[in-house]
Structure 1
Amino acid sequence: MPKSVHHVNLSVPEDGARAEGDWLIAMLGYVEVEGGPDIQAMLEPMGRRVWWFEADDGSQVHLSPNPDHLVVSAAHTAIRLDDDLDPCIGRLEAGGFETRTLAFDGERHVFVTDPAGNLWELVGP
């Protein structure tokens, strides 16, 4: 039986990893961490790299630059925020990112598209 999600790996445009990482840090509060040296060593000969970002709870988002990056409209990543969503919504909207908020199951669900075109669902009070 699964205990929790360790990480998600998101495709980003080949030249979009830095912008995406900056967005994760500034908008959602992730911290960039060093990717596993074995993984980086495996990817290096293929001319590939992966960027890792971590939340306070240890869960991670990995970014994989992809020359064939496609946005899939129904696919999304959902995370639960441990505090009020309003400051996060404010940062997103001040940064020019459109948000859409729905309320169900006694919580708010905020949907936003990141710089790479990936859809995020932010859940919280």
Structure 2
Amino acid sequence: MPVLGLDHVQLAMPVGEEARAVAFYAGILGIPEVPKPRHLAARGGCWFESGHLKIHLGVETPFRPAGKAHPAFIVDDLAPLIARLEAGGYPCLEDQPLDGYHRCYVHDPFGNRIELMQKSYGPVAGAS
């Protein structure tokens, strides 16, 4: 039986940090928070969803951020998002060019690595 798709990505977060998660994922990245099902809400954490994009943050004790493993979000206008992130205290780090994309990495408030990718048309600047 083949895998048909991806339903959601779950990242870990420390206990009691839901407000910081909402400020980052909903406030800066613009992914709306959605209520967790009642039977899961008692565990803490929060969910963010927009169409097919579903990011779930679950409380993990002891907490350890994902420093290498990461989700990659497709964005439609990377430059203003980078400006919002950096204004909010989240530095963005460019990486080696990838054909067809402008991209960078940022860490969420808990240290989880996130890749942000914007489709580009033509060669990536600086690529050889």
Give the counterpart of 2:87 among 94, 114, 123: 94
Q: 1:5·1:59 contact (CA, 8 Å) conserved in 2?
A: no
Bigger relative CO (Cα 8 Å, ≥ 6 apart): 1
Separation in 1 of the partners of 2:23 and 2:64? Answer: 20
Contact 2:16/2:44 (CA < 8 Å) preserved in 1? no
- Equivalence for 1:52: 47
Q: Is residue 53–residue 61 contact of structure 1 (8 Å, CA) maintained in 2? A: yes
The one-letter code of the counterpart of 2:46 is W
Q: Paired residue for 1:2? A: 3
- Residue 44 of structure 2 aligns to a residue whose secondary structure is coil
Q: Runs (4+) of structure 1 moved beyond 4 Å?
A: none
Q: Is the 8 A contact 2:13 2:45 kept in 1?
A: no
**Within-5 A mapping of 1:57-76:** 57-76=51-70
Partner of 1:109: 103
After TM superposition, the score normalised by the length of structure 2 is 0.81
**CA distance in 2: counterparts of 1:38 and 1:71, whole angstroms:** 25
The amino acid across from 1:51 in the alignment is: C
| Aligned 8 A contact 2:65 2:111 in 1 | yes
Instruction: Tell me by how many angstroms 1:9 deviates.
Output: 1.2
Where structure 2 has 5 or more consecutive residues not aligned to the other structure, the ranges are: 120-128
Q: Deviations over 1:38-94 (max 9, x none)?
A: 433xxx3xxx22311112x2321111122311124212121111x111111110011
Quick check: which one's strand share is greater? 1
RMSD: 1.6
Higher helix content, 1 or 2: 1
Write the distance in 2 (CA, Å) between the matches of 1:108 and 1:13.
31
Give the Cα–Cα distance (whole angstroms) in 1 for the partners of residues 61 and 24 of structure 2: 20
Q: Distance in 2 between matches of 1:94 and 1:115?
A: 14
> Higher mean Cα deviation, 98-107 or 108-117?
98-107
Once the two structures are TM-superposed, the CA of residue 3 in structure 1 deviates from its matched residue by 3.7
Aligned length: 117
Opposite residue 80 of structure 2, the aligned amino acid is: P
Task: Give the superposition deviation at 1:17.
Answer: 2.2
